[in-house]
């Protein structure tokens, strides 16, 4: 079954770049693009364990008379047909419920404050809550349209990173782009990670040299990030060992999304492979 990506459209130049990035992702991964043009500054998304209120910046509501025309132009230029998504119901008269049965969702780093906090290190609470609860990975596009030509998955040997690897391999297969694996080992030897990959039937590509393994047994993590290709889609898991509300703070994930300017697909704790 063909997967779908949800994109909430902002009818501004910034929003144009975001939609172009979503359309590029869909065109390369054989994914259907579903676009919601908001009429209210709040939305509800009912996930399995929590209902997330999505607070939108007022810029998402700008120029509604040209929004659909612009969406059609952008999406069709990418060789796709837009599918427009309407609320499935209303919790209140002005609080629409968006469906959540998607394969992916695209979000800027800040969905509530588009202009003031688009720096690399900032990912505001609404986006974090979506990542934390969604059954789908979340695409965080670059602020300016940038095409990617490879996929780099961050693998740390954990159960969650095994799931992230499978998602990355699937995207590599559907896009035809090269697949790279990034591992920063602090104490465990290469053989430890190799054993986990073999156990989960994920090592064959590395063994056959079809997959490049960027393995670092020394050096600082942030310095080793320099080896990640600039034209690569980053796929990384977001999960924590403490309270789940802190899943993007004080971790490798924090360093990744702070330092790397690449397009990024974040796999939350409940995302399905």
Task: Give residue-wise pLDDT tens across range 134-156.
Answer: 999 999 998 889 999 999 999 99
Q: What pLDDT sits at residue 113?
A: 62
The pLDDT-based confidence of 82 (bands split at 50, 70, 90) is confident
Task: Sketch the domain layout of the chain as residue ranges.
Answer: 4-140, 150-267
The pLDDT-based confidence of 251 (bands split at 50, 70, 90) is low
Region 78-96: what's the mean pLDDT?
A: 88
> Which DSSP string corresponds to 1-46?
---EEEEE---SHHHHHHHHHHHHHHHHHT-EEEEE--SSSEEEEE
Domains 4-140 and 150-267 share a fold: yes
The pLDDT-based confidence of 242 (bands split at 50, 70, 90) is very low
The pLDDT-based confidence of 122 (bands split at 50, 70, 90) is low
β-pair type (89-92, 42-46): unpaired
**Average confidence score pLDDT of the chain:** 88
Residues in a beta bridge with 214: 182
Does the pLDDT value for residue 120 go beyond 50? Answer: no
Give CA separation, 271 vs 235, 236, 261, 267, in Å. Answer: 13, 12, 23, 6
Query: What percent of the chain is modeled with pLDDT above 70?
Result: 91
Does the pLDDT value for residue 111 go beyond 90? Answer: no
Q: Which CATH number fits domain 150-267: 3.90.1150.10, 1.10.645.10, 1.20.1250.20, 3.40.50.620?
A: 3.40.50.620
Please tell me the distance from the alpha carbon of residue 181 to that of residue 210, in angstroms, as a whole number: 11
Q: Which of 154, 156, 149 is nearest to 229 (CA)?
A: 149
Does the pLDDT value for residue 241 go beyond 60? Answer: no
The pLDDT-based confidence of 243 (bands split at 50, 70, 90) is very low
Does the pLDDT value for residue 118 go beyond 80? Answer: no
Query: What percent of the chain is modeled with pLDDT above 90?
Result: 69
Does the pLDDT value for residue 226 go beyond 50? Answer: yes
246 contact partners, CB below 8 Å, separation of at least 6: 240
Q: Is the pTM of this model over 0.75?
A: yes
Least confident of 52-61, 89-98, 230-239, 247-256: 247-256
Residue 78 C-beta-side C-alpha neighbours within 13 Å = 27
Does the pLDDT value for residue 207 go beyond 90? Answer: yes
CATH classification code of 4-140: 3.40.50
Q: What pLDDT sits at residue 247?
A: 40
Please tell me the distance from the alpha carbon of residue 202 to that of residue 23, in angstroms, as a whole number: 29
Neighbours of 40 (CB within 10 A): 15
| H or E element that contains 197 | helix 190-199
Contact 9, 60 (CB under 8 A): yes
């Amino acid at each position: 079954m063909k997967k779908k990506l949800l994109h909430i459209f902002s009818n501004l130049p910034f929003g144009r770049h975001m939609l172009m990035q979503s359309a590029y992702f869909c065109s390369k991964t054989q994914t259907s693009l579903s676009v919601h043009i908001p009429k209210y500054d709040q939305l509800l998304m009912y996930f399995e364990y929590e209902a997330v209120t999505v607070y939108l910046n007022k810029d998402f509501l700008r120029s509604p008379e040209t929004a659909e025309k612009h969406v059609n132009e952008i999406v069709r230029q990418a060789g796709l047909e837009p599918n427009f998504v309407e609320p499935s119901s209303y919790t209140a008269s002005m609080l629409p419920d968006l469906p959540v049965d998607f394969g992916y969702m695209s979000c800027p780093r800040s969905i509530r404050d588009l202009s003031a906090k688009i720096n690399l290190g900032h990912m505001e609470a609404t986006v974090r809550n979506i990542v934390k609860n969604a059954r789908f990975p979340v695409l965080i596009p670059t602020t300016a349209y940038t095409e990617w030509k490879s996929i780099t998955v961050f693998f740390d040997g954990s159960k969650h990173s095994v799931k992230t690897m499978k998602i990355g391999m699937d995207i590599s297969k559907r896009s035809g782009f090269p697949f790279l694996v990034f591992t920063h080992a602090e104490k465990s030897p290469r053989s430890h990670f190799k054993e986990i990959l073999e156990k989960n039937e994920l090592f064959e590509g590395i063994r056959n040299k079809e997959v490049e393994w960027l393995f670092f047994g020394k050096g600082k993590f942030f310095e080793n990030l320099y080896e990640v290709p600039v034209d690569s889609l980053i796929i990384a898991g977001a999960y924590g060992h403490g309270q789940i509300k802190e899943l993007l703070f004080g971790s490798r994930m924090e360093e990744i999304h702070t330092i790397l300017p690449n397009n990024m697909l974040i796999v939350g704790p409940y995302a399905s492979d």
